[in-house]
Structure 1
Amino acid sequence: MSNDTSKPFSNKQSIDNLKTSGFERRMSIAKTSLNIGRRWAGNSVSGMFLNKEARTARNQAFMETQANYLAAELGKLKGSVVKIGQMLAIYGEHILPPEITRALQTLNDDTATLSWPTIELTLRDLLGERLNELDIDPVPIGTASLAQVHRATVIATGEQVVLKIQYPGVADAINSDLALFKRLLKVSNIVPQTRSLDAWFEEIRDLLHHEVDYEAEAVTTERFYDRLSNDPRYVVPKINREYSKKRLLCMSYEPGVSVVSDVLQQLSHERRSAIGQAAIEIMMQEIFVWGEMQTDPNFGNYLVRVSTNEGEPDKLVLLDFGAIRQFDENLLTIAHGLLKAGYHHDHDAMVLAMTGYDFFDSMSNKVRSDVASLFLLATEPFSNPATNPDIPSDRLDEKGRYIWANSKLHSRLSTAATRAMQSFEFNLPPKEFMFISRKFIGAYTLLTVLNSYTDSNKLVRPYL
């Protein structure tokens, strides 16, 4: 959740309460379900006399309209319903129709803020008289589906902090929201009800319950703070335990600009490349050193503090440690083997690295070979230019660094993956692989936006 102070929230619509009671949310979603059901029935009747081609085109257009209506109605509810929709948009492309995925991608956190009197009442419940020790700006500097952020000063010390305040009732509504969301998809008849969908809802349930536990997030943030405290390229907020609770997180205020800010585009190319290198290096450490990863690829989880002192690097501010996922040793061993094979651009080594994981072992030899080719493309930015003749010359600078803006890697991967899935029997990938792949796609997009050049030898050699 970004606290980019260049985006004021004072002119945003403010609401006094959220529909967090089960009855209110059931009524709202029931109304949406009813409207979608009526429309679906109407579309079926009116399309009865069309030929097959015309009916297919009409149904596709109707699905698009229905999906957009669904997203618009969900967006009004805030809370975990919006978060569920966002998670399905990020991870559900293999189980949802593309129209639904596209519509859910429009769900964002840039919605109405909860009014200050309501937030103040929530803080009073959490902190009691200790609330008087803080001077809090009533205008939030950030909003999200589950919380909003306010700047504050600790009066006694002058310390500048931010308070991440969870919206009242959202944690208690997670299970009922999931049930309502699933029922909405079932009633609306726009998503096939499969075991894969059930498994993803269970995964989302676990992730959400973890994300609303700010005591766990405080511990994780402190862990990353300790890990990165000696690296001048990174800033992790410092947790203030005096004012942190299970539903309230207090941490140091860390200013910066958004990663898509024009300010960054005005920096020299070398500085932007250094920021990009830092962004992808942190991801490598998460997977190959610490075995746990921040799985949310949202740009709002990063800021950049632009240096004003020569010789001091620009800093990547890491903001949100709620969506952390740990990986088991077996998966990390597989990932390490895939990275090594990708660095050497070795197809046989890539196939061998995939051995020992049920998802890959269940594939035929032909399928495994095709997936290995897909992984070789995915690891192009991590390959040694000296041993990868398949990297087009316009993707490398004179120093052999990878030019992200020229790569079009995301679209090339999407095309190759779609083609591969159509050509062979394909099971839904393990959730862990989908988390990692989504994080990589987020990093790829960030480096493309920054137009960074990265050095694969610096990135990969420490892990060989």
Structure 2
Amino acid sequence: MSQHPESRGLAVPSRRLSRLWHLGRATGDLAAGIGVKGLIDLARTRAGGQPARIQLSPEHTRRFTDRLARMRGAVMKMGQLMSMDGSDIFTPEAAEIMSTLRERAEPMPLSQLSRVLETEYGAGWDKRFKRFEFTPIAAASIGQVHRAETRDGRRLALKIQFPGVRESIDSDIANLAMLGRSFGMAPKGLDIAPFLEEARRQLHREADYDAEAEALESYRVWVGDDPDFHIPAVHRDLTTRNILAMDFAEGVPVDRLAGPEYRRAERDRAATLLMRLTLRELFEFGLVQTDPNFGNYLYDAASGRIVLLDFGATKPVAPELVEQYRRLAASAISGDRAGMRAASVALGYVGADDPDEHVEAMMDLLELASEPLRHPGHYDFGLSDLFERIYHRGRALFHSGVFSTAPAPETLFLHRKFMGSFMLSRRLRARVELCEMARACL
């Protein structure tokens, strides 16, 4: 068996008081970096219902992200989401450092890893394997991944959960809610409790690898024998609530296709396949993998297939919600503002009794967002500034107090998936014939 010569990982703080202490240190780094004047400015913007703007030095930002990366779990997951908004919340320098949270997590030390393996597989667990690589090939917010080969020759990827992550979710979410209120991260008057509750439920599901195995197998049935995609099979004899055993899959993260060594045709094809898959997930499967992390898609150049990974964030979507999105998309494509309004009320984007000017502002935003759906032929995401236009207009409206309602919390992760698909096409500078693709799905 392969050996890890010297563990350089940092132990995952698993006890509630330990995690609270680390979060307190992270908050202290944040407060120290902002300074007295910054805290006063934050209080003023919060009182006025305006978005908070955090001025952090690179040094304090690194301390803050180091703390979150060490804690892993819900705290790191929320930090990753904060970093996706980084261009507006943080200074450009701080936003660049925060973005590293989307790609890093400290692996756990060998002693902690060994305890998890023995707890899950029992004493003598190593006898099940011909080879086990103790150095992880990836580490994220909830677990890390190791390569292994069983005695009977199966080449596997084992996703091993950090100890204490599941037990810490509830307290982490509560502490993050307190932090968000303290620093005015949410607009005045908006109740973020339902969204945090939805995030809490989703994180508990992501931390249950038995549930992820079931979601992966259900998704494999829907995709079937599609030659463009590969979904690794689950190995149930080695899967537990804290370890997910899957076929090892070759490939590079799909966003690497943006590099000069790949042709434009490959970028266009990959983006088209994944955009079509996003539409099929919602309108055909009713089962959506809602994590937009680019690392969840691998490109296998030898076969031309895209490997789909990580189904912990997979959510079934209620048929009535699917129908509401179907009506909204169809109305947006055809320019039917009355139909868009009815669907938006059903989804909670606007209230039935909201003032007309408020509703019209939302309809304008939705029309803007649906630009790729209405564009004839190929939409060139590489040349489009649509993201900036949506981002700044939507954020200004969100913080202006114009809207009295918020969408149903269960739409939170669907929005994340839609945005992730858009951002991947943009990252690949791809041309996608989205209009005809959408019409076919509707």
Match among 213, 220, 229 for residue 225 of structure 1 = 220
The residue aligned with 2:333 is: 343
RMSD (Å) for aligned C-alpha atoms? 3.5
Count of paired positions: 421
Q: CA deviation at 1:149?
A: 0.2
1:160 matched to 2:155? The reply is yes
Letter in 2 for 1:371: M
2: CA distance, partners of 1:276 / 1:41: 43
Q: TM-score, normalized by length of structure 2?
A: 0.83
CA contact (8 A) 1:403 1:452 kept: yes
Counterpart selection for 2:70 from 50, 60, 76: 76
Question: Which one of 411, 414, 417 corresponds to residue 439 of structure 1?
Answer: 417
Q: Which residue of 1 aligns with 2:320?
A: 330
Q: How does 1:20-419 map to 2 (within 5 A)?
A: 20-33=14-27, 42-43=36-37, 63-65=55-57, 68=61, 70-87=64-81, 98-99=89-90, 102=95, 105-128=99-122, 129-134=124-129, 135-156=131-152, 158-185=153-180, 189=183, 191=185, 196-261=191-256, 265-307=260-302, 314-360=304-350, 361-383=352-374, 385=376, 400-418=377-395
Larger mean CA deviation between 222-231 and 436-445 belongs to 436-445
The amino acid of 2:146's aligned partner reads H
TM-score normalised over the length of structure 1: 0.80
- Per-residue CA distance 1:235-290 (angstroms, 9 max, x = gap): 11100001000011000011111122258643332232111111101100111112
Higher-Rg structure is 1
**Match among 403, 410, 419 for residue 426 of structure 1:** 403
- Decide whether the 8 Å contact of 1:174 with 1:209 is kept in 2: yes
Consecutive unaligned residues of structure 2, counting only runs of 5 or more, are: none
Per the alignment, do residues 179 and 448 of structure 1 end up closer, same or farther by CA in structure 2, a change over 3 Å counting? Answer: closer
Partner in structure 2 of residue 4 of structure 1: none
1:388 match = none
Letter in structure 1 aligned against 2:255: V
Identity rate, percent: 25
**Alpha-carbon displacement from aligned partner over 1:418-459 (angstroms, at most 9, x marks no partner):** 454577712444334443332222111111222222223541
8 Å CA contact 1:241–1:250 kept in 2: the answer is yes
Deviation readout 1:291-326 (Å, 9 max, x if unpaired)? 221111111111111136xxxxx2111101101223
Q: Deviations along 1:306-356, whole A, 9 cap, x unmatched?
A: 136xxxxx2111101101223223321121012112322443443344354
* CA–CA separation in structure 2 for the residues paired with 1:98 and 1:44: 13
Task: Report the Cα offset of residue 76 of structure 1.
Answer: 3.2
CA separation of 1:362/1:254 partners in 2, compared to 1, >3 Å: closer, same or farther?
farther
Give CA-to-partner distance per residue, 1:396-419, whole Å, 9 cap, x none: xxxx22211112221121233245
Cα distance, 1:213–1:420 mapped onto 2, change above 3 Å: same
Give the Cα separation in 1 of the matches to 2:370 and 2:33. Answer: 45
Q: 1:334 to 1:152 in 2, by over 3 A?
A: same
**Residues 64, 136 of structure 1: CA spacing in aligned structure 2 closer, same or farther, 3 A cutoff?**
same
Q: How far apart are the structure 2 equivalents of 1:161 and 1:451?
A: 33
Structure 2 residue matching 1:168: 3-state secondary structure? coil
**What corresponds to 1:397 in structure 2?**
none
Match of 1:196, SS state, is: coil
Residues 151, 162 of structure 1: 8 Å contact kept: yes
